[in-house]
Amino acid sequence: MCVQKFYIDEILDELLKYITANNANMLRTIMDEMKYKLSYAYITNRRDKHYFYFTEVDYSPEAIESRFAAFYLPSMTQDPWQHLSQQK
């Protein structure tokens, strides 16, 4: 009886190792795929990007800045070196 139990425990341990190893490999594969899909190479090499622009929208930097000024932090719209120019 004792030998049988030890043998079953050993088999269960081996099965657990096998399942854990396979799950780890599967997780590693999934994580690698996710890393690639988040990577610069994947984002820049996709063929399904279709950029389109509205003709009636002004895309100049000044227009974009004024459009999104409410969402900017003050430091993003103001000159950080302004105090230096004022000293001169």
50 within a domain of the structure (yes/no): yes
- The total number of structural domains in the chain stands at 1
What is the extent of the structural domain holding 59?
2-74
87 within a domain of the structure (yes/no): no
Q: Token pair of 22, please?
A: 């396979």
43 within a domain of the structure (yes/no): yes
Q: pTM, whole model, 2 decimals?
A: 0.29
Most confident of 16-20, 26-30, 62-66: 62-66
> What are the tens digits of pLDDT across the range 46-66?
666 667 778 888 888 888 888
82 within a domain of the structure (yes/no): no
